[in-house]
């Protein structure tokens, strides 16, 4: 029974990694840029959500878990706009500057966002007031418990990932995204507005990151300004593990990393968790350098 | 191109000049400089903030009363973020600033590298809160602490588990920090001597948010109490997540968890019924010095100091001030000799300071156990173990 509970734990952690990994993988797929600022956009989602919740509480409207729906919508919109702004200011002017300058610019944005959060919201841990996250859960069997919040996390992550996958595979904009991802120059010749497609990618990726931040903040109840760094790093690794640029790969990579980490800390020790998880990662990358679902891209002539 | 480069060069020069000017202005001639290092940012920022508020208040009071032998006290504050690398850097900066004595750091991991630097520079160094045993085992002649050492805390926790909580299947969990690992080892040693069997011993990674994997294993091990020797943020998350998993285990946390942030992180309902062993909280210190400190602090900052370590930072400053006053010297060597040999029964904020032993540890012990009540408050446990 302990195994079942540990799998539940692992999949919950994994779905957080997956949700954040989607943002890395989308941007990489289209721009071949590792957006190191993504983890901190995710952290800003948590802070904006907390600010909105606290504003509602001080206005005397609080206590209903349903309030999280409008707050979630607000966070998605705000972080999506922040994402587009970051792209416009820090990445677009560097797009023709080679591969290294945009990565450094992304790291710069990450540090700026992190320091801003620390200066605005303070360095100590912040806590969501009670009554927003649903308490309690169901006991599936002796020693196997599924919290309501865990169910919500799994449902939200699953729906968002499926919607994103369908959007990219089935819609005109999604098709255009895949075209830009294959070859931006040819896509432009085919009449695709590449700048617009990239802006849309920076709406969706950070928007998903923002809602992820809000859910993580609510689920654990408290966080600080380093939230983006820890989750961002793990999610980035999950994206590579699944095959960066590949959306189902990000989901698979996130889940796998979450479950491996959980089993390692649950059955061996949290002290050995990272050794085991990263040894597995290196092994997978040796066997499949492009990640689990990554495609082997031949050299372009 | 050349023009912009020239402009940039001038801008850098101007900034450097301005910084140099600022640094020059900051030094007050003839003042006694005292350093304070603590975690103003990072995981333990709550405690660093308390350090700063307490010591600033006492420095202002001292200066308003005419200083020490006519000399003003000037406080130099540095942020180590609780990090050992950063700690070594800021320690060097305090040495360069020409301080006579330093108060800090908060956590043992940060205090350890700093104590080395202060020792080499010949500066008096008092930590308000770093309780790891090994800190005073290096033979540094000018290193002291106003808190009590973890071998005594470990023994107290074991007695509390046995005599008050009646626990039989006990686990110990630390976080691999200098302090938490040391306290865990001391507790295990004490448990062996007291005949309490430790059926589980492991460590978490404090950078994690999710502790359900190890909690699930704790649940499967059917422990009835776990002693967590780490810090308050993780203690809060452990209490929250273990209740959410429906585990019947009771938590007892050490003296890095004696502040309200832990209860806020856990949530009142999840924290209730768990325990903390610690030096007494400010509210339970019934000494005139403590009451005056708390009243002044409340008047100045609008809230009473909730953490013991806020008060202990004040205690460290008072000890330094006392030594400066009694010896009339600002020579760290003279001050340290006074503290080792002559100081006896000073009325401290946390009770009488009986004195310091040859290693620099404060004599005696004052640990107590608290139970977190249904309102999320630390309530002094009705029953206390034998000391």
For chain B, domains (ranges, CATH) are: 12-148+285-353 (3.40.50.2300), 151-278+368-380 (3.40.50.2300)
Chain-centre distance for alpha carbon B316: 11
Q: Is the pLDDT of residue A236 over 60?
A: yes
Tell me the three-class secondary structure of chain A, residue by residue. CHHHHHHHHHHHHHHHHHHHHHHHHHHHHHHCCCCCCHHHHHHHHHHHHHHHHHHHHHCCCCCCHHHHHHHHHHHHHHHHHHHHHHHHHHHHHHCCCCCHHHHHHHHHHHHHHHHHHHHHHCCCCEECCCCCCCCCEEEEECCEEEEHHHHHHHHHHHHHHHHHHHHHHHCHHHHHHHHHHHCHHHHHHCCCCHHHHHHHHHHHHHHHHHHHHHHHHHHHCEECCCHHHHHHHHHHHHHHHHCCCCHHHHHHHHHHHHHHHHHHHHHCCHHHHHHHHHHHHHHHHHHCCCCCCCCCCCCCC
Inter-chain residue contact A139 with B246, CB threshold 8 Å: yes
What is the per-residue pLDDT across A244-294, written as a single tens digit (0 to 9) for each?
Answer: 888 899 999 999 999 999 999 999 999 899 899 889 889 988 998 888 887
* Residue A299 lies inside a defined structural domain of this protein: no
Query: Rg of chain B over CA atoms, in angstroms?
Result: 22
Q: What is the mean pLDDT of chain A?
A: 89
Q: How far apart are CA A199 and CA A210, in angstroms?
A: 16
What is the per-residue pLDDT across B202-235, written as a single tens digit (0 to 9) for each?
Answer: 999 998 999 999 999 999 999 999 999 999 999 9
Residue A119 touches chain B, beta carbons under 8 Å: no
Chain-centre distance for alpha carbon A296: 24
Q: How far apart are CA B199 and CA A71, in angstroms?
A: 45
Contacts of B211 in chain A (CB under 8 A): 270
Domain that holds residue A98: 2-287
* Residue A296 lies inside a defined structural domain of this protein: no
Inter-chain residue contact A221 with B233, CB threshold 8 Å: no
**Least CA distance to A148: which residue of chain B?**
B244
Instruction: Please report, for the domain that includes residue A188, its CATH number.
Output: 1.10.3470
Identify the three-state secondary structure at position B5: helix
- Phi, psi for A95 (deg, rounded to 5): -65, -30
Side-chain-side CA neighbours of B376 within 13 Å: the count stands at 16
Inter-chain residue contact B45 with A137, CB threshold 8 Å: no
Task: Please give the average per-residue pLDDT across A68-78, as a whole number.
Answer: 92
* Residue A295 lies inside a defined structural domain of this protein: no
Residue A12 touches chain B, beta carbons under 8 Å: yes
Q: What is the mean pLDDT of chain B?
A: 90
Question: Chain A, 245-264: which have a CB under 8 Å from a chain B CB?
Answer: 261-263
What ipTM does this complex have?
A: 0.89
* Residue A62 lies inside a defined structural domain of this protein: yes
The pTM assigned to this predicted structure is 0.86
What is the per-residue pLDDT across B33-75, written as a single tens digit (0 to 9) for each?
Answer: 999 999 998 888 889 999 999 999 999 999 999 999 999 999 9
Task: Please give the average per-residue pLDDT across A22-33, as a whole number.
Answer: 89
Q: How far apart are CA B55 and CA B36, in angstroms?
A: 8
* Residue A128 lies inside a defined structural domain of this protein: yes
Q: Is the pLDDT of residue A299 over 60?
A: no
Total domains in chain A come to 1
**Least CA distance to B45: which residue of chain A?**
A124
Inter-chain residue contact B219 with A137, CB threshold 8 Å: no
**Least CA distance to B246: which residue of chain A?**
A145
The pLDDT, as a whole number, for residue B263 is 95
Q: How far apart are CA B206 and CA B233, in angstroms?
A: 9
The pLDDT, as a whole number, for residue A292 is 87
Most A CBs within 10 A among B201, B204, B216, B246, hence the mutation to make, goes to B216
Q: How far apart are CA A158 and CA A215, in angstroms?
A: 13
**Least CA distance to B207: which residue of chain A?**
A230
Task: Please give the average per-residue pLDDT across B168-189, as a whole number.
Answer: 94
Q: At what angle do helices A100-121 and A227-242 cross, to 10 degrees?
A: 150
Percent of chain B past pLDDT 70, that is, above it, reads 92
Q: Is the pLDDT of residue B93 over 50?
A: yes
* Residue A54 lies inside a defined structural domain of this protein: yes
What is the per-residue pLDDT across B317-369, written as a single tens digit (0 to 9) for each?
Answer: 999 999 999 999 999 999 999 999 999 888 999 988 999 999 999 988 889 99
Contacts of A147 in chain B (CB under 8 A): 244
**Least CA distance to B218: which residue of chain A?**
A266
Shortest Cα distance, chain B CAs vs residue A167, angstroms: 32
The pLDDT, as a whole number, for residue A294 is 78
Most A CBs within 10 A among B244, B247, B272, hence the mutation to make, goes to B244
Shortest Cα distance, chain B CAs vs residue A50, angstroms: 14
pLDDT band at A62 (very low <50, low <70, confident <90, very high): low
């Amino acid at each position: 029974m302990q195994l079942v509970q540990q799998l539940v734990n692992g999949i919950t952690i994994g779905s957080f990694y997956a949700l954040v990994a989607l943002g890395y993988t989308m941007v990489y797929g289209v721009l071949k840029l590792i957006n190191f600022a993504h983890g901190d956009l995710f952290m800003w989602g948590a802070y904006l959500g907390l600010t909105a919740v606290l504003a509602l509480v001080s206005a005397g409207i609080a206590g209903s878990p349903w309030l999280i729906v409008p707050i979630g919508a607000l966070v998605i919109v705000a972080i999506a706009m922040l994402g587009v702004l970051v792209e416009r200011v820090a990445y677009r002017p560097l797009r023709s500057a080679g591969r290294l300058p945009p990565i450094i610019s992304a790291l710069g944005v990450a540090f700026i966002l992190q320091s801003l959060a620390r200066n605005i919201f303070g360095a100590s841990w912040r806590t969501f007031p009670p009554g927003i996250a649903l308490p309690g859960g169901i006991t599936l069997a002796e020693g196997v418990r599924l919290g309501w919040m865990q169910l919500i996390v799994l449902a939200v992550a699953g729906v968002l990932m499926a919607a994103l996958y369908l959007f990219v595979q089935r819609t005109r904009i999604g098709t255009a995204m895949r075209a830009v991802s294959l070859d931006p120059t040819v896509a432009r010749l085919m009449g695709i507005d590449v700048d617009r497609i990239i802006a849309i990618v920076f709406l969706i990726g950070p928007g998903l990151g923002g809602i992820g931040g809000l859910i993580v903040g609510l689920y654990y109840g408290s966080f600080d300004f380093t939230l983006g760094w820890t989750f961002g790093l793990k999610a980035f690794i999950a994206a590579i593990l699944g095959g960066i640029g590949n959306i189902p790969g990000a989901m698979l990579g996130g889940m796998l990393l979450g479950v491996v980490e959980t089993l390692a800390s649950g059955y061996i020790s949290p002290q050995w968790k990272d050794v085991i998880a990263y040894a597995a990662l290196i092994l997978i990358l040796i066997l499949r350098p492009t990640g689990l679902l990554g495609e082997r891209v031949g050299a372009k002539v | 191109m050349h023009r912009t480069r020239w402009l940039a060069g001038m801008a850098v020069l101007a900034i450097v000049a301005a910084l140099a000017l600022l640094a020059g202005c900051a030094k007050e001639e003839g003042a006694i400089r005292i350093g304070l290092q603590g975690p103003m940012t990072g995981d333990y920022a709550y405690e660093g903030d308390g350090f700063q508020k307490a010591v600033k208040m006492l420095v202002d009071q001292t200066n308003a009363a005419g200083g020490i032998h006519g000399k003003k006290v000037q406080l130099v504050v540095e942020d180590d973020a609780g990090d050992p690398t950063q700690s070594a850097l800021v320690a060097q900066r305090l040495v360069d600033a020409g301080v006579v004595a330093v108060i800090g750091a908060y956590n043992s991991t940060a205090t350890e590298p700093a104590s080395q630097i202060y020792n080499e520079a010949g500066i008096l160094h008092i930590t308000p809160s770093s309780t790891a045993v090994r800190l005073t085992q290096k033979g540094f002649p000018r290193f002291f602490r106003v808190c009590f050492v973890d071998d005594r805390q470990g023994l107290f926790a074991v007695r509390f588990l046995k005599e008050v909580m009646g626990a039989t299947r006990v686990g110990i969990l630390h976080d691999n920090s200098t302090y938490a690992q040391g306290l865990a080892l001391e507790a295990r040693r004490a448990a062996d001597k007291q005949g309490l069997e430790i059926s589980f011993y492991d460590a978490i990674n404090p950078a994690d948010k999710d502790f359900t994997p190890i909690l699930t294993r704790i649940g499967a091990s059917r422990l009835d109490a776990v002693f967590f020797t780490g810090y308050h943020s993780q203690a809060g998350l452990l209490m929250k997540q273990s209740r959410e998993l429906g585990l019947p285990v009771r938590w007892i946390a050490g003296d890095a968890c004696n502040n309200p942030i832990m209860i806020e992180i856990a949530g009142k309902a999840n924290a209730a019924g768990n325990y903390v062993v610690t030096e007494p909280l400010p509210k339970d210190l019934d000494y005139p010095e403590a009451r005056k400190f708390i009243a002044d602090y409340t008047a100045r900052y609008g809230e009473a100091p909730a953490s013991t370590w806020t008060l202990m930072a004040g205690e460290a400053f008072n000890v330094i001030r006392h030594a400066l006053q009694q010896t009339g010297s600002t020579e760290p060597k003279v001050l340290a000799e006074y503290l080792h040999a002559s100081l006896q029964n000073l009325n401290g904020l946390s009770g009488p300071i009986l004195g310091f032993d040859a290693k620099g540890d404060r004599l005696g012990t004052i640990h107590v156990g608290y139970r977190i009540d249904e309102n999320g408050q630390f309530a002094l446990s009705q029953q206390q173990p034998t000391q």
